A and B are shown apart, each in its own frame.
Chain A
Amino acid sequence: MARRYDSRTTIFSPEGRLYQVEYAMEAISHAGTVLAVLSKEGIAIAAEKKVTGKLLDLSLAPGGEGMGGEGAEAWMGGGGEKIFLLNNNILAGLAGITSDANSLVNFARNRAQQYLFSYNEDIPVELLVQRLCDMKQGYTQFGGLRPFGVSLIYIGWDALYGFQLYQSDPSGNYSGWKATCIGANHSSATSLLKQDYKDDLSLEDAKSLCLKTMSKTMDSIKLSSEKLEFATMTLHPETGQPLAKIYRPSELDELLRTLELGGTKEEQIGVGEGTGGGGGGEGNVAMST
């Protein structure tokens, strides 16, 4: 009897819906927020890390102290739990089931290398997005398997269309955006972005808009590298080649301090506020140094 359902996880319901796909999207709307903003000079992406608990040992896990870097170092340091380098010219932020996400990242990296092998050139951004979405779509159609519980935001650059920002969901749909958000509170974040986005943003504006919107969307008032991952895709000033930068925890905290959005350890914020330092950003700069 159970077979009837097991092998038919992705058939239409009488109302014409695919429940498994909708459930997968529901699962994602509880995941940590990922948010990206496109500008002519580059793209910024931020991702919220869900802090699991004090006892979890993250010292050797991805996202630890050695994380991040620029260009080739971004490969060495690697991303954290949420932001991954898929190819030299493409970064992705993931929201959803981590194990599914890991498998998709592996698939994407493989496809990017296959393209490089065939054509001796970095894969165009949309092409990689399409490859992943073809795979995701497959799991909404063939029985016995569940869809990937992952949404992705892709940021990248290619010679054909320059900087691009895409988003894809478990159904295999993808779309291009100027600014977008997936995960928890994505609808409120999207409406905030809609208000504040301008077409002539500089990269600094994009970074700031990205993090400011993130701070309004996340539960905690002060942001810090403990709860956040951050990366940018720009062009190398000399070579003109795409340059991925995954921020190291210290770099992110510094950026957060200059934007007056936090960047200090939580205990320190408590001390700072307690001693009458106020909520001001400058007070925090003094505290953290």
Chain B
Amino acid sequence: MECAFAITGKDFVLIASDMSAGRSIIQMKSNENKITPVGPNLAMACGGEPGDTSRFADYVDRNLRLYHIRNNFPLPPPSAASWVRRILAESIRSRSPYAVNVLLGGFDTTTSKPHLYWLDYLGTKADIPYAAQGVGMYVTLSTMDKWWYENIERREALDVLNKCVDEVKKRVTIKFDFNCVLIDKDGVHSLDLKSQDPIAELEAKVAAMKPSDPEPIIPSSDAPAIAAA
């Protein structure tokens, strides 16, 4: 039982995902991070079979990092999405398929464009401006249909995202907590949805770190962006 959604804007992608972990009607954890950074400017929200999701996220992360190390540049988001889709398509035809659904968002630093891909465990890939996965699909797509527009700015996009979160809280029986990342040219940043102005906090953080220490070229899976809430 999961819920994730993502929105692209002018020069960024927002991804939000629920943080619940459990089986059947029992919730065992409400702060499980389901969004993994899989590149300097690429992150993935994984939903589906709980064990598969973390293993799949790890597999993608490490393979993309290997590509980065071998070739001295990260795989751009469109190529990464094609590759992830291929893995899922091969997986569904194997003895032990990954049962995962993915929202892959990234910022292409070569073309300066944000990208968002919706992928499911069957190996479907769709390149779309906003997307939802899991139970959230039924209630948030219409919200995004109404409020999203092209080249939307960060604060406005975050408003749309919060509207989606509210909609889920209003309409879905299960209680979810959400965490959120923003991906732009500077990297993958976590946003605190509960704070007053997360974008201002992010801007301050980026401004503070920019002159002295640029983002590490190769992201380490445990260090940046997302600390489990």
Contacts and interface: CB of A to CB of B under 8 A. Distances in A.
A118 B82 contact: yes
Range, interface on chain B: 10 to 19
Nearest to B79: A119
B71 A124 contact: yes
Interface in B103-119: 110-111
B3 to A, nearest CB: 29
B59 interface: no
A58 interface: no
A120 B77 CA distance: 11
A119 B111 contact: no
Interface in A140-187: 159-160
A120 B117 CA distance: 14
Contacts of A126: 71
B86 A159 contact: no
Nearest to A117: B86
A271 interface: no
A76 interface: no
Nearest to A116: B82
Chain B facing A: main interface SS = helix
A12 B51 CA distance: 52
B219 interface: no
Nearest to B86: A118
A127 B82 contact: no
Contacts of B78: 120-121
A120 B110 CA distance: 16
B71 A119 contact: no
A19 B149 CA distance: 66
Interface in B51-107: 71, 73, 75-76, 78-80, 82-83, 86
A159 B76 contact: yes
A117 B73 CA distance: 19
A119 B78 CA distance: 8
Contact of A121 (B71, B73, B82, B86): B82
A127 B71 CA distance: 7
Nearest to B67: A119
Most buried by A among B71, B79, B80, B111: B79
A160 B83 contact: no
Contact of A119 (B73, B83, B110): B83
Contacts of A117: 86
Contact of B82 (A120, A124, A159, A160): A120
A118 B76 contact: no
A119 B125 CA distance: 13
Given A118-B83, A121-B76, 5 more contacts: A119-B80, A120-B82, A121-B78, A127-B71, A160-B73
Interface of B: 71, 73, 75-76, 78-80, 82-83, 86, 110-111
Interface of A: 117-121, 124, 126-127, 159-160
Q: Across chains A and B, which 5 residue pairs bring their CB atoms closest together, nearest first? A: A120-B82, A119-B79, A159-B110, A121-B79, A119-B82
25 contacts: A117-B86, A118-B82, A118-B83, A118-B86, A119-B75, A119-B79, A119-B80, A119-B82, A119-B83, A120-B78, A120-B79, A120-B82, A121-B76, A121-B78, A121-B79, A121-B82, A124-B71, A124-B73, A126-B71, A127-B71, A159-B76, A159-B110, A159-B111, A160-B73, A160-B110
